[in-house]
Amino acid sequence: MDFSTLIQILDSTLRLATPLLLACLAGLFSERSGIFDIGLEAKMLVAAFFSAAFAYSTGSVWIGLLAGIAASMVFALIHGVASITFRGNQLISGVALNFLASGMTVLVAQSWFQQGGRTPSLIGGARFEPITLPFADAVRDVPFLGPLYSDLLSGHSILVYVALLAVPATWWVLYRTRFGLRLRAVGENPAAVDTAGVSVIGLRFAAIGIAGLLCGIAGAYLATGLQAGFVKDMTAGRGYIALAALIFAKWRPWYALGACLLFGLLQALSLRTDVVDAIFPFKMPVQLLDSLPYILTVVILAGFVGKAIPPRAGGTPYVKER
Amino acid sequence: MTFMRSILGAAATLALVAGTAAADPAIIFDLGGKFDKSFNESAYRGAKRWAEAHAGTFKEIEMQSEAQREQALRRLAESGANPVVMTGFAFGNVLNEVAPDYPDTSFAIIDMVVDQPNVRSVVFSEHEGSFLVGMLAANASKSGTVGFIGGMDIPLIRKFACGYAQGVKAVNPDAKIVSNMTGTTPAAWNDPVKGSELTKAQISQGADVVFAAAGGTGVGVLQAAADGGILSIGVDSNQNHLHAGMVLTSMVKRVDNAVEKAFTDGPGFETGVMVMGVGNGGVGFAMDENNGPIVDANWKMAADEAAEKIASGELVVHDYMADNVCPALQF
């Protein structure tokens, strides 16, 4: 395997890891506040559809992005009303949203565009074009670092950089702000937060709102950045892989980046059977690479490599003492 | 009681009479839905063409879930619809149980073999059509490397890949064929993002023509190929218009012809296995104004010649599903 092949694989890794990373951070905010969220898939899917639909109708990808975020926030709000306000089961609400998104997007797409549950292909300004970072062309010929910068880091759509910047931002919000301290506290011991006179419900709604925002960006990236349009069920289980990455990362932002890049790398490797055959001395089935994220997560959960302890108040609705 | 019985009897007679009077043909669409731009839509076009030509009407049902299959089939058969045509291999088991209960109704199933006396099983020789587009791909390729991207890794998709590889090798024995499957679960039919990444991976391995036999995933393949400046080949229905000038051709499966023929043959049609191949217009490659400028006349002529040879039996394309091995491609 030569250097340029390595760059190609890492390039693919970055593209595949971006939606995982955004969804993973969304889950991180939500679960850190004590709300389990298996509806990441649903939020990404509605965002993918509405971003593609509005980008096509208006010709502007930015309006599409806003529409995608709005749709994802609406789904987050439904999850919030069901599981925070009415104290319903968070897992059931998430599953219900997943089904709703899968059916609703196709139905709306069919009655809107009559293309078998797809949106028409996006062209021109209705898509996120790759952007070239400054000096990318100038430093291309520098050995080693040049290709690393101009082929690997440069040339992605802007949402990739947004996702990468979201990691330090999440770290800063969670660990360096008052809001973050309260958010982490509400996921561990909501009664203590309530005693301190801070609204548990308000904090949890804020957390799932942020989750909605991040999932919205992830969905818009799938439909308008990586692809040029919506296809039914196009998230293809990425929301669940993001959840696995969240557990793998033990609910920490920087670890989340590492986990998502690792899972992205495994996915990217499974696309290159020629490279896989060259690396491993034996015949490595690509299906094994595809399932490695889940296997690794089970290993972590079983406690073989450190311990994954979820936020203590996760999954239980908060009931104020009377 | 007697009165009740006579009323019931009268109702039953009436129902029987009504049933025989309305011997409209019926069609059942599978889960993809009637307007899936592909398989089911093609079936719908065939039914509509029959209705226009014969000034007739037909009944139709779209499947919404797995559990509905048997119910829908029985309901249509009991309503007197004849013949009943269904699209998709998933009906196989259900039809095998239901068909003996309605010996006077003729059934036709597409893409599956059901061994019952009143069932016509329509299967397509996808390997022959894939062979032809493989020839075009090898001719159009400048790098000598072509790609294949399948959806879910099932024998049917390997049949596509194997026919394609044979066609490529027939034109250029030294050609390299990069073959990938999207996945091993049904999600592989609807993962355009992975389709795009696979296409980019194949481009970096030198492929300059890719054939997508992958359902919704193919949308991503065709998109990435157009973005990456290489040619792609569509599947099932004519997809040349999706990226005009960038889609070399499409391997078309004429489900519409199969449906129209079943409707035209009417109740009591000839049953057994009916193979739709290159010879009887079942499969082929699509030519229209979108790909006319990029397909060289010589390439088309070579493919047409091969089609004639396949039709006459002079050229035999190996069918992967016959023995689960492929002479031209390693899976």
Give domain status of residue A240, yes or no.
yes
Provide the shortest C-alpha distance from residue A16 to chain B (in Å).
Answer: 8
Check: CB of residue B121 under 8 Å from CB of residue B274: yes
Residue range of the domain that includes B77: 2-124
Spatial separation of the C-alpha atoms in residues B327 and B168, rounded to whole Å: 12
Spatial separation of the C-alpha atoms in residues B60 and B38, rounded to whole Å: 17
Supply the pLDDT for residue B99. 93
Q: Sort out which chain B residues have CB atoms less than 8 A from A271's CB and list them.
A: 180, 194, 197-198, 201
Residue range of the domain that includes A130: 3-301
Asked if B19 is an interface residue toward chain A (Cβ–Cβ < 8 A), one would say no
Q: Sort out which chain B residues have CB atoms less than 8 A from A115's CB and list them.
A: 35, 37
Parallel/antiparallel/unpaired status of strands B209-213 and B231-236? parallel
Q: Sort out which chain A residues have CB atoms less than 8 A from B37's CB and list them.
A: 115-116, 118
Q: Which residues partner with B60 through β-bridges?
A: B27
Q: Is the pLDDT of residue B18 over 70?
A: no
Point out the residue among A12, A233, A237 whose CB comes nearest to the CB of B200. Answer: A12
Q: What is the pLDDT of residues A169-179, one digit of tens each?
A: 999 999 999 99
Give domain status of residue B242, yes or no.
yes
Parallel/antiparallel/unpaired status of strands B119-124 and B145-152? unpaired
Spatial separation of the C-alpha atoms in residues A204 and A64, rounded to whole Å: 27
Give domain status of residue A314, yes or no.
no
Q: Is the pLDDT of residue B6 over 80?
A: no
Q: Is the pLDDT of residue B308 over 70?
A: yes
Q: What is the pLDDT of residues B273-303, one digit of tens each?
A: 999 999 888 899 999 999 999 999 999 999 9
Provide the shortest C-alpha distance from residue A270 to chain B (in Å).
Answer: 9
More confident position, B183 or A179: A179
Give domain status of residue B309, yes or no.
yes
| Average pLDDT estimate for A233-251 | 92
Interface predicted TM-score of the whole assembly (ipTM), two decimals: 0.87
More confident position, A147 or B179: B179
Provide the shortest C-alpha distance from residue B178 to chain A (in Å).
Answer: 9
Give domain status of residue B258, yes or no.
no
Report the first-to-last Cα separation within chain B, whole angstroms.
70
Give domain status of residue B25, yes or no.
yes
Q: How many CB pairs under 8 A join A and B?
A: 81
Q: What is the pLDDT of residues B149-174, one digit of tens each?
A: 999 898 989 999 999 999 999 999 99
> Do A229 and B187 make contact, defined as CB atoms within 8 angstroms?
no
Provide the shortest C-alpha distance from residue A45 to chain B (in Å).
Answer: 12
Q: Looking at the structure, do residues B104 and B208 belong to the same domain, yes or no?
A: no
Supply the pLDDT for residue B12. 52
Q: Sort out which chain A residues have CB atoms less than 8 A from B187's CB and list them.
A: 233, 236-237
Q: Looking at the structure, do residues B108 and B163 belong to the same domain, yes or no?
A: no
Asked if A8 is an interface residue toward chain B (Cβ–Cβ < 8 A), one would say yes
| Average pLDDT estimate for A231-248 | 91
Sign of CA dihedral B306, B312, B315, B321: positive
Q: Looking at the structure, do residues B119 and B236 belong to the same domain, yes or no?
A: no
DSSP string, B78-145: HTT--SEEEESGGGHHHHHHHGGG-TTS-EEEESS----TTEEEEEE-HHHHHHHHHHHHHHH-SSSE
Provide the shortest C-alpha distance from residue A267 to chain B (in Å).
Answer: 9
* Cα-based angle B49, B51, B54 (whole degrees, multiple of 5): 105
Of A11, A35, A18, A16, the C-alpha closest to A183 is A35
Count of domains for chain A? 1
Q: What CATH number is given to the structural domain containing A17?
A: 1.10.3470
What Rg value do the Cα atoms of chain B yield, rounded?
A: 22
Give domain status of residue A228, yes or no.
yes
| Average pLDDT estimate for B303-317 | 93
Supply the pLDDT for residue B10. 54
Supply the pLDDT for residue B20. 44
Give domain status of residue B167, yes or no.
yes
Q: Looking at the structure, do residues B160 and B305 belong to the same domain, yes or no?
A: yes
Q: Looking at the structure, do residues B74 and B210 belong to the same domain, yes or no?
A: no
> How is residue A52 written in tokens?
């593609």
Domain boundary among the residues B93, B108, B124 is at B124
Q: Is the pLDDT of residue A304 over 80?
A: no
Q: Looking at the structure, do residues B58 and B155 belong to the same domain, yes or no?
A: no
Give domain status of residue A308, yes or no.
no
Asked if A125 is an interface residue toward chain B (Cβ–Cβ < 8 A), one would say no
Q: Looking at the structure, do residues B70 and B81 belong to the same domain, yes or no?
A: yes
Point out the residue among A121, A234, A290 whose CB comes nearest to the CB of B193. Answer: A234
Of A83, A100, A88, A97, the C-alpha closest to A35 is A83
Point out the residue among B35, B198, B201 whose CB comes nearest to the CB of A110. Answer: B35
Q: Looking at the structure, do residues B171 and B304 belong to the same domain, yes or no?
A: yes
Provide the shortest C-alpha distance from residue A185 to chain B (in Å).
Answer: 38
Asked if A232 is an interface residue toward chain B (Cβ–Cβ < 8 A), one would say yes
Instruction: Specify which of A27-36, B22-31, B264-273 reaches the highest per-range mean pLDDT.
Output: A27-36
Give domain status of residue B274, yes or no.
no
| Average pLDDT estimate for A101-122 | 88
Asked if B241 is an interface residue toward chain A (Cβ–Cβ < 8 A), one would say no
> Do B197 and A15 make contact, defined as CB atoms within 8 angstroms?
yes
Q: What CATH number is given to the structural domain containing B189?
A: 3.40.50.2300
Give domain status of residue B265, yes or no.
no
Supply the pLDDT for residue B16. 47
Domain boundary among the residues B86, B105, B124 is at B124
Q: Is the pLDDT of residue B7 over 60?
A: no
Give domain status of residue A309, yes or no.
no
Count of domains for chain B? 2
Q: Looking at the structure, do residues B116 and B205 belong to the same domain, yes or no?
A: no
Give domain status of residue A115, yes or no.
yes
> How is residue A63 written in tokens?
């309006």
Q: Is the pLDDT of residue B9 over 60?
A: no
Q: Looking at the structure, do residues B186 and B232 belong to the same domain, yes or no?
A: yes
Q: Which residues partner with B285 through β-bridges?
A: B251
| Average pLDDT estimate for B196-206 | 94
> Do B32 and A116 make contact, defined as CB atoms within 8 angstroms?
yes
DSSP string, A193-204: HHHTT--HHHHH
Q: Which residues contact A12 (CB under 8 A, 6 or more apart)?
A: A268, A271, B197, B200, B201
Q: Is the pLDDT of residue A320 over 90?
A: no
Q: What is the pLDDT of residues B122-145, one digit of tens each?
A: 999 999 999 999 999 999 999 999
Q: Of the ranges A56-60, A113-117, A163-167, which one carries the lowest mean pLDDT score?
A: A113-117
Provide the shortest C-alpha distance from residue B208 to chain A (in Å).
Answer: 16
Q: Is the pLDDT of residue A124 over 90?
A: no
Domain boundary among the residues B91, B124, B157 is at B124
Q: Looking at the structure, do residues B135 and B248 belong to the same domain, yes or no?
A: yes
Give domain status of residue A317, yes or no.
no
Estimate the share of chain B in helix, then strand, then coil, as percent rounded to the nearest 5. 50, 20, 35
Give domain status of residue A153, yes or no.
yes
Point out the residue among A116, A227, A271 whose CB comes nearest to the CB of B220. Answer: A227
Q: Looking at the structure, do residues B168 and B71 belong to the same domain, yes or no?
A: no
Asked if A89 is an interface residue toward chain B (Cβ–Cβ < 8 A), one would say no
Give domain status of residue B264, yes or no.
no
* Cα-based angle A218, A221, A225 (whole degrees, multiple of 5): 170
